[in-house]
Amino acid sequence: MTVSASDSEATPMRPVLSVVPAAPERRVVVIGGGIAGLAAAHFVATESRGTLGVTVLEAGPRVGGKLATAEVAGVTVDSGAEAMQSTRPEAVSLARAVGLERDIVHPEVFGASLWLGDRLRRMPPTVMGVPTDLRALAAAQVLGARSLLTLPLEYARPATRFDGDVSVGAFVESRLGRDLVETLVEPLLGGVYAGRADALSLEATVPMLFRELRGESSLLRAAERTARGGGRRAGARRGPIFAGIRGGVGRLPQAVAADLVDRGAVVRTDAVVRSLHRVDDRWRIIVASGDQGEVLEAEEIILAVPPHQASALLTHVSPSAANDLGLIDMSSMAIVTLAYPAEAVPPLSGSGFLVPPNQGRTLKAANYATSKWDWIAREARTRRGRDDALVVIRASVGRLGEEDAWQRSDSDLVSDVHAELADAIGIRDLPVDRTVTRWRDAIPQYATGHVRRVERIRSAVAGIPDLEICGAAFDGVGVAAVIGSARTAARGVLSRSGRAAAVAH
């Protein structure tokens, strides 16, 4: 959702045309129609059982944010996130709640490779790049002999004292060396955050490992303990780590929006929120819709937009929260999806591969969509006929600071990505179709100090009556974590609404 500050010189508005009259129930306006806003609205609507009036305002022409689908050669694919963490309950539970239970699926293959030098090498087991099995690491042949020989010495080194937050890159380098950071940590962090290991916070990006380090002097042992059981102790569930949705994870926001409407909620697109104002015991929301303007009133607000848009809306409401939100960097990226004749692609092993940035490639990562997801493989066969099957590969391009990589023309991006895929895999023909999706300011960067920054934002917002905030900037960038953030915001609204109802009666 794109939200701008109320700046009449930058974006002239017509005079207010109407004020929506007060509704009999307590009104909740959710600003932002991405999965965070939709999930928060859904939780409020279902838990309040219709006693709260819920409206979702999305500035763009569709809901869903970074969850969307596209077509390549007649095959449906995700053009944003393609998987949800299933060891956490939030995303899978929401999918079930909106009627997608029968369409929840899990990857057919696991295990990624690293593209190093002239070949793909199997990725050894790690926790965000920190090895959990030194024998498997040696067998993978991804590090030089000198680096491998020094790693066991880390077990005997004294603990590193934490005087504050530290970047993943700096900490891992201090314990295990720069070679390991560049070869293993960078591609994994780049895949999740599209960021850089030397800037990203250890505490915020790898919280389970950070917790283990509080009672463990060795980073290697902490990683081993995290892999063995840290996730389960943190409340994670057993079973497949990731889940998808038949037809694409991009179906989830559409299903949530439809369910909301069925429950009596209002979901509006092309509704740009210009500003928020606290007047007496209500919120006034200045909205532009097309060339029209209006004022909405609500007792509760849930702000579910990216941090810079949230910053603009909170400038006069909470300057301290606005300042911290505005300091969160955002990375941009592109997804290039290519469809090849099956006979032109050699047999593929695993789910895809990652590319360390020091390899000088355009590609950041590639995943073999027709190998990973059975529903895509079936479409690739049935849409084209059994004698004309396809292989579909999704490639990602762009990290923080690499704007030139993803801003090139579609033809240049496709040409470069195809050339590198052909080099890495041995593809013998041109793609029969392709699609390019650019995501500007897609992923919040959890820089060092991020946990303290989030604490300050939430503390400031907590001091403002009837306001909640949620999204990818707070508790994790994955779909499940974002939905978890939304549920926390919704619970704040519900707890206050319950008190308000008790007073009214």
* Strand, helix or coil for residue 164: coil
Residue 390 has pLDDT above 60, yes or no: yes
Residue 14 lies in a domain: no
* Strand, helix or coil for residue 126: strand
Residue 242 lies in a domain: no
CA distance 140 to 262: 52
Q: Helix H segments across 267-356?
A: 307-314, 319-326
CATH of the domain at 319: 3.50.50.60
Amino acid in position 112: A
DSSP letters, 223-241, are: HHHIIIIIHHHTTPPSS-S
346 shares a domain with 288: no
Query: Tokens 């980073």 belong to which residue?
Result: 219
DSSP letters, 75-120, are: EEEESS---EESSSSHHHHHHHHTT-GGGEE--S---EEEEETTEE
222 shares a domain with 152: yes
Out of 229-238, 254-263, 423-432, pick the least confident.
229-238
432 shares a domain with 350: yes
Residue 280 lies in a domain: yes
78 shares a domain with 124: no
DSSP letter assigned to residue 17 = -
Domain coverage including residue 31: 26-63+250-328+446-504
Residue 100 lies in a domain: no
Q: Give mean pLDDT, residues 36-44.
A: 98
pLDDT of residue 238: 59
Query: Would you say the pTM of this structure is higher than 0.85?
Result: yes
Q: What is the dihedral of CA 473, 268, 264, 67, to 10 degrees?
A: -40
Residue 472 lies in a domain: yes
Residue 5 has pLDDT above 50, yes or no: no
Phi-psi group of 123: left, alpha or beta (phi > 0 → left; psi -120 to 50 → alpha; rest → beta):
beta
187 shares a domain with 130: yes
416 shares a domain with 485: no
Residue 105 lies in a domain: no
338 shares a domain with 206: no
pLDDT of residue 25: 67
Where among 444, 463, 489 does a domain terminate? Answer: 444
DSSP letter assigned to residue 183 = I
Q: Which long-range contacts (CB under 8 A, 24 or more apart) does 256-262 make?
A: 256/35, 256/38, 256/39, 256/42, 256/94, 256/98, 257/33, 257/38, 257/56, 257/63, 258/98, 259/42, 259/97, 259/98, 259/99, 260/38, 260/41, 260/42, 260/45, 260/54, 260/56
Residue 15 lies in a domain: no
pLDDT of residue 96: 98
Where among 170, 202, 233 does a domain terminate? Answer: 233
- Single out the residue of 3, 114, 14 nearest to residue 471, CA to CA: 3
Residue 132 lies in a domain: yes
Q: What is the dihedral of CA 43, 46, 52, 56, to 10 degrees?
A: 50
Residue 4 has pLDDT above 60, yes or no: no
Where among 180, 205, 233 does a domain terminate? Answer: 233
389 shares a domain with 306: no
156 shares a domain with 219: yes
131 shares a domain with 83: no
Q: Which residue has the higher pLDDT, 388 or 351?
A: 351
Number of structural domains in the chain: 3
426 shares a domain with 359: yes
